[in-house]
Structure 1
Amino acid sequence: MDIQDSAAASAVAAARRSTVQFSGRGAEFFGIWIVNILLTIVTLGIYSAWAKVRTTQYFYGHTKVDGHSFRYLATPIQILKGRIIAVAVFALISVLSTFSPFFGLMAALAFLIALPWILVQGMKFSLRMTSYRNVRFGFHGTYGSACIYYLLLPILSVFTLYLAMPWALKKLDQFIFSNISFGGKQLEVSTRTSTYYKAALTSFAVAVGLGIVCGIAAAVAGFAMPEPEAGFSMALFLLYVAFFGIFMLAGAVYTAMIRNHLLNSTLLPQTAELHSNLEAVDLVWVTTTNMLLVLFTLGLAYPWTKVRMTALLAAATEVTVYPAMDNLTDPLQQNSSVFAEQAADLFDVDLSLT
């Protein structure tokens, strides 16, 4: 065994594998959340920038990997400036569109063209404001690549009757994760197209199978009613309820399979490896009970639901840390746009790494 192989073997032996720890509590976060809501209302939305920073810092600070927590470095003023600019720009477009439908059409086209830039710049800002062990993350995706993976491939998949959509989603995930860096090193992703098709077919089979079962059950319940009209209404109601349950279950199956495959296929060279063992049954249970909690408490249980979901994902995630992690430094990060991130927030197109 030569020196290089010996060093590699020693690094593997010294690697530390641990589950991601999340120590947040629903009651604790409720105090932060309710204050954020009230102050945002009182200040006519201005405090929302402080609310976002407080919320993100709470969840980052209570998430630990290998004994170290994450930090969110953005300041409320940074968020507020970008948010004011974003709201002002899109409010102006909205007002001018009411006077000229043609301008509205051009504005919509311009937004579509700008959307990849907004997403890329938002990712750059969000990751640059995230640190672990005093080392910041980074994102190196380009506008041209984002146009391909966010716009071109999904549009082209329509012409294949969506048969190419799993492949397009795989390429999109690869684009996002392979452009994330930490300590000057970029993540390496080795996902397989076959796994995406397997996840899509499995979730489709689950949806079809449950749809048939629920359809038969609804028909039987409808025929059991003494009056035909009441039976028909009952059948429609049951199908309506079943639709959401089927959609949730099939979505959970797909999400769990893809998350596990994506994280298990991602590593930071010679520094860290990701692992995921999320069970679809657990995801369905937490998602369903969270929805019921929010519904029956008129939204007051939201802090508990957010903590529960975060805890589930953390418990299903493991990280193998190699000794090289201890020697990483924080290189000069790329510039990014706060405005772009807030524009993404405004139009509900934020990116999610989980």
Structure 2
Amino acid sequence: MENTSDTTVSQPDQARVGKVAFSGDAGEFFGIWIVNLLLSIVTLGIYSAWAKVRTNQYFYGHTRIDNQPFRYLATPIQILKGRIIAVIIFALFFTASSLSPVLAVVLAFLFLLASPWLIVQSLKFNMRMTSYRNVRFAFHGDYLRAFKYFVLLPVLALFTLYLAMPWVLKKIDRYICSNTSFAGQKMQINTDTSSYYIAVLVAMAAVMGVITVMIIVGAVLVGVMAATGIADAGVATVLVTAAVFILYFFAFTLSGAIYHSMIRNHIFERTELPGIAKFKSEMQVMPYLWLTVTNLLAIIFSLGLAYPWAKVRKAAYLASVTTIAVYPQADSLVDQVQQSSNAFGEEAAGLFDIDVSLA
């Protein structure tokens, strides 16, 4: 096998550069989604393991780089076994917690200690089950470093009134990226702290701007109602409450779009698989904000039926703003022996609401 770690990175003019292609169709995925939903309900959740695999296989298979699709390799039985074990543990946790407040605190502390292991197992399983050009990804993180980045540093950031949190987020992203490998070659990432602080400050400025607008709008509404003689306190309360809710929702959606766009672009710009691929993201705030708001509104007003359309739409957008430079060495890569893992960590992490993702 070619030792990619000793390979010199190709020059840009040798790379095949192109956008990530996503060919999923909302109507086609709706058929998969509705069948998954109905069968999961009928089987009391058992079919959800098959539903997860079908969904991942659809999105992976319709995502292409250099005209080559990704593959999701997990089987429903793997997912189901892990999910059953996780549910049993969750049930025991919930039952024990309800019997004694002291026991609930002890179990919560034990869960805090276990959460880094769950995160690592989730990442290992997801990476191992992701394949490109018949070569799998892998994750090499361990418990101690995961505990440092996911538990210790966030707790310490609390004592800085969260002023250190952007630095902590940078550390977490670097931990995940630098421990991810493809064909034995680990990713290299060189993010800087200042970019995270700038993203946070811009997002906070946006929130403050919207809050200022909120105050002005509220004052104008009160003035208009007073001038027009609307004295009904109930009507005034409803109007002001609605305006505040809309602006509150917009403020935090805007801040999320700003942070997500800036950090995603920064991470992709500073990350590469040496000798294999280089990445670039060109996400823009307003298009992503529009996507997020319209997707959410569509899901709400369709009572959830627009979810497949929203999911496909988001995947298509993320692909359209992502460019990959694939170097010639990628054509000769072969798979390596993978670390052992199972679905338990992934399913337990999802069950206990542990989410691990990069911007």
Tell me if the contact between 2:119 and 2:346 (Cα under 8 Å) persists in the aligned partners: yes
Pairwise mapping of residues 44-59 of structure 1 onto structure 2 (< 5 A)?
Answer: 44-59=44-59
In structure 2, the residue matched to 1:119 is 119
Tell me if the contact between 2:299 and 2:305 (Cα under 8 Å) persists in the aligned partners: yes
Q: 1:128 offset after TM fit, Å?
A: 0.1
Q: Name the stretch that deviates more: 284-293 or 101-110.
A: 101-110
Name the TM-score, length of structure 2 as normaliser.
0.94
Amino acid at match of 2:54: R
Distance 2:11 2:222 in 1: 65
Q: 1:217 offset after TM fit, Å?
A: 1.1
In structure 2, the residue matched to 1:142 is 142
Tell me if the contact between 1:214 and 1:239 (Cα under 8 Å) persists in the aligned partners: yes
* Residues 149-197 of structure 1: per-residue CA shift (max 9 Å, x gap): 1111111111111111111100110001111000000000000111111
Change in Cα spacing, 1:234 to 1:174, as seen in structure 2 (3 Å) is: same
1:295 pairs with 2:305: no
In structure 2, the residue matched to 1:332 is 337
Tell me if the contact between 2:135 and 2:183 (Cα under 8 Å) persists in the aligned partners: yes
Q: 3-state SS of the aligned residue for 1:290?
A: helix
Q: Name the stretch that deviates more: 314-323 or 98-107.
A: 98-107
Q: Name the stretch that deviates more: 87-96 or 134-143.
A: 87-96
Distance 1:20 1:91 in 2: 42
In structure 2, the residue matched to 1:99 is 99
Amino acid at match of 1:28: E
Amino acid at match of 1:316: V
Change in Cα spacing, 1:319 to 1:10, as seen in structure 2 (3 Å) is: closer
In structure 2, the residue matched to 1:256 is 261
Name the TM-score, length of structure 1 as normaliser.
0.95
In structure 1, the residue matched to 2:241 is 236
In structure 1, the residue matched to 2:316 is 311
Distance 2:101 2:163 in 1: 35
Distance 1:43 1:10 in 2: 52
In structure 1, the residue matched to 2:43 is 43
Q: 1:295 offset after TM fit, Å?
A: 0.9
Change in Cα spacing, 1:9 to 1:203, as seen in structure 2 (3 Å) is: closer
Q: 3-state SS of the aligned residue for 1:157?
A: helix
1:286 pairs with 2:273: no
In structure 2, the residue matched to 1:202 is 202
Amino acid at match of 1:283: Y
Distance 2:126 2:74 in 1: 8
Q: 3-state SS of the aligned residue for 1:74?
A: coil
Tell me if the contact between 1:222 and 1:234 (Cα under 8 Å) persists in the aligned partners: no
Q: Name the stretch that deviates more: 147-156 or 32-41.
A: 147-156
Tell me if the contact between 1:122 and 1:336 (Cα under 8 Å) persists in the aligned partners: no
Amino acid at match of 1:19: K
Q: 1:12 offset after TM fit, Å?
A: 3.8
Distance 1:322 1:10 in 2: 6
Change in Cα spacing, 1:46 to 1:213, as seen in structure 2 (3 Å) is: same
Q: 3-state SS of the aligned residue for 2:181?
A: strand
Pairwise mapping of residues 188-227 of structure 1 onto structure 2 (< 5 A)?
Answer: 188-225=188-225, 226-227=230-231
Amino acid at match of 2:157: S
Q: 1:9 offset after TM fit, Å?
A: 9.0
Distance 2:279 2:358 in 1: 12
Tell me if the contact between 1:264 and 1:274 (Cα under 8 Å) persists in the aligned partners: yes
5+ residue gaps, structure 1, are 1-6
Q: Name the stretch that deviates more: 219-228 or 174-183.
A: 219-228
In structure 1, the residue matched to 2:4 is none
* Residues 290-325 of structure 1: per-residue CA shift (max 9 Å, x gap): 011001100000000000111111101010000111
Distance 2:222 2:72 in 1: 54
Q: Name the stretch that deviates more: 225-234 or 305-314.
A: 225-234
Distance 2:29 2:345 in 1: 28
Aligned residues: 348
Distance 1:293 1:268 in 2: 38
Amino acid at match of 1:150: F
Amino acid at match of 2:231: E
Amino acid at match of 2:197: Y
